[in-house]
Homo-oligomer: A and B are copies of this chain.
Amino acid sequence: MSDRHSEPKPTATYDEVMSANSDYATSFGDKGDLALPPARGFAILTCMDARLDPAKYAGLAEGDAHVIRNAGGRASDDAIRSLVISHKLLGTKEWFVIHHTDCGMLLFDGNTMAGLLEKSRATATFDGTKWANQKEEGGSPEGHHMAWLTFTDLAQSVRDDVERIRNHPLAPKDVPVWGFIYDCGTGKLLPVE
C-alpha cells in the first residue's frame, strides 16, 4: 500500500491549475479584504456537475453567497450540516436548491452502483442503456452501505429536497427555500413549484 500513501508527482492538470491560480492571484485586487459572512446573505445548494457554474448562472461575485455542491445537489445530511452552519453562524437568510437537466443521478441507481463497485473501482462505461465495468480490479462491497441519493423524477427530487430542508429540526422556519431546475441546454433557471 506504500505507493498509495506517497505524495503523487505533479501532473499536467496540476500544473494547469497552478498556472491559472497564479494568474488569478496576480489580479486579485482588494478581494483579500472581503468578510467571512456572505455579503448578500444567501446560500445555493446545487450539483457538482462540471457544466454548472453557480457564480455565473446566479450572478455571484466573490464574497456574495455560500455555495454547497454534491452529486445531484441533494439535501444530504452533509448539505444540511452546511446550510445550518450557513444560517446559524454566518447569517444567510434565503436558500436556493438547484438541480439540473441531464443529471448523471438520473442514469443509475444505488443497486447498480454498488454492484459495479463490488467488482471494480475502475471507471465504468455507459452504452446509453446500462453501465458495465471495463476491468475488474480492486472491488469493495462498501458501496452497498452508502446512500447514493439517485432519483428518477427531476422535478420531484427538487421538491423532496426543499421539503426535507424545510422540515429539518435544525432549519429555521423563516428562511425561504427556493427550488429550481437549471437547464443545461439554455443556462436558464426554471422555478419548481
Q: Which residues of A contact B (CB under 8 A)?
A: 3-5, 7-9, 11, 13-14, 16-25, 28, 31-32, 34, 36-43, 48-53, 55-60, 62-71, 76-79, 81-82, 84-91, 93-94, 96, 102, 104-105, 107-108, 113, 116-117, 121-124, 126, 131, 138, 140, 142-143, 146-149, 163, 166-173, 176-178, 184-189, 193
Does A32 contact B138, Cβ atoms closer than 8 Å? no
Number of identical protomers:
2
B14 in contact with A178 (CB, 8 Å)? yes
Q: Which residues of B contact A142 (CB under 8 A)?
A: 168-170
**In contact, B25 and A187 (Cβ under 8 angstroms):** yes
A51–B71 contact, CB under 8 A? Answer: no
Beta-carbon contact of A68 and B66 below 8 Å: no
Cβ A36 vs Cβ B104 within 8 A = yes
Would you mind naming 25 contact pairs between A and B with Cβ atoms under 8 Å apart?
A5-B166, A11-B94, A13-B40, A14-B176, A14-B178, A17-B189, A21-B59, A21-B187, A25-B186, A28-B187, A36-B51, A36-B102, A48-B66, A50-B62, A50-B64, A68-B70, A81-B146, A85-B105, A88-B124, A89-B113, A89-B126, A121-B170, A121-B173, A138-B172, A143-B170
Contacts of A23 in B (CB 8 A): 59
The answer on a CB contact under 8 Å between B81 and A24 is no
* Residues in chain B near residue A173, CB distance under 8 A: 3-4, 121, 138
Give the distance to chain B from A84, nearest Cβ to Cβ, in Å.
Answer: 7
Q: In the complex, are the beta carbons of A185 and B50 less than 8 A apart? A: no
Contacting residues, chain B, for A70 (C-beta < 8 A): 68-70, 78-79, 81-82
What residues on B are CB-neighbors of A28 within 8 Å? 186-187
Q: For the A-B complex with A16-B40, A146-B170 known, give 6 more contacts whose Cβ atoms are closer than 8 Å.
A: A24-B56, A32-B186, A32-B187, A53-B55, A70-B79, A85-B148
